[in-house]
Chain A
Amino acid sequence: MNPVQVKNLDTHYGHRHILKDVSLEVRQGEIFVIMGGSGSGKTTLLNHLLGLLRPSSGSVHILGQDINTIGALAKQELRTKMGVAFQSGALFSSMSVGDNIALPLREHTKLDDTTIGIVTRLKLEVVSLAGFADLMPSELSGGMIKRAAFARAIVMDPKLLFCDEPSAGLDPVVAASIDDLILRLRDAMGMSIVVVTHDLDSAFKIADRICVLDKGEVLALDTADAIRASPNERIQNLLNRRTEEAEIDPDAYLRRLLGEKDEDEDEEPMRDHL
């Protein structure tokens, strides 16, 4: 069974239709890149994969379980098998780097302190942050925060790793080192890795398959080579960084200029806080 199965996923923010009939599967041991421009729905899709949002319709199965129907305890158990490297790092600023990385092991396992300490320092070695355990997050550079976030995301050796914009805001050399890290993790640990990115160079370097999202729809889902060779004009526009002029809805445009809002326009989707 594939570790991620999304079927006919629809979601709305108020009246706005954000994801439209999205279906995809992530295979065991593959690096699956979700790519698209700003506002394409890729972050919303990631939040659904993490079980942070409930869909209007459709289903999301993670490691064989419907993440929207399982109970709170089962979801907590499921999340111990998932790692997430957030775009901002999301490290706890009041805790040292080492304590941030050790936190999942302390919360979810009964391993003794010696083992937790070794595993924590092992992960710091893997992300090339050896010796940084005692520093505070505020003492790290942007690239180091990303790598520390990776270390925390993999500290439980998850079956599934999610990475949100791993190379965003990094210089090309550091971004390339993050790409290499993702490839090494997959090869060594056999993880299935889902990467959300708008960085084309990174996507084509690491992806086994790429899902191109556009305006909430799956525009294409194929191997990196097939995506690159696609004759689809919208895909080529994305790959060649050509802008597309958005179609204008005159009514909506005038309402925006006059400061009139649709009801529910800013309504947030239902969030799952469990």
Chain B
Amino acid sequence: MNLKTHENNGTVVVSLAGEIDLEHSPSVRKQLMELMFDRRDVLVDMAQVAYIDSSGIASLVEAYQMARKNATRFVLVAVSQPALRVLQLARLDKVFALADTVEAALAG
């Protein structure tokens, strides 16, 4: 699993790659929650996510809920097919804010 962040016009873009499983989801959760505590707008680029398990999805759910409470943005961007199938299994594709590209999310 690889996690990188960079800023784009004041929004933090978190790029996830590889397999987000029981071993790696706690570190993803920690970094996302730190951004939520700082009340940052966050885009999560998931184009390179090969696999995400339920604990990884749970980290996204927790961060998204905090963003809603903070009235900040939390958007999943370019969600890969393997990750999208897991979101769809629990109908979370109808819950999260999704965007096709970082540019589209920033413009939205």
Contact = CB atoms under 8 A, between A and B. Distances in A.
Interface residues of A, number: 21
Interface stretch (A111-119, A207-215, A229-237, A248-256): A111-119
Nearest to B22: A109
B62 A115 contact: yes
B84 to A, nearest CB: 9
B58 A118 contact: yes
A267 interface: no
A188 B62 contact: no
A235 B105 CA distance: 57
Contacts of A126: 89-90
B86 A188 contact: yes
Given A110-B26, A111-B22, A114-B62, A119 B89 contact: no
B86 to A, nearest CB: 6
A135 to B, nearest CB: 20
A111 B55 contact: yes
A188 B85 contact: yes
B62 A119 contact: no
B88 A188 contact: yes
A271 interface: no
Contact of A187 (B54, B61, B85): B85
Interface of B: 21-22, 25-26, 29, 53-55, 57-59, 61-62, 82, 85-86, 88-91
Interface of A: 109-112, 114-115, 118-119, 122-123, 125-126, 155-157, 184-185, 187-190
Given A157-B53, A188-B88, A189-B89, 12 more contacts: A109-B22, A109-B55, A111-B55, A115-B25, A115-B26, A115-B58, A115-B62, A118-B58, A119-B54, A125-B90, A126-B89, A156-B22
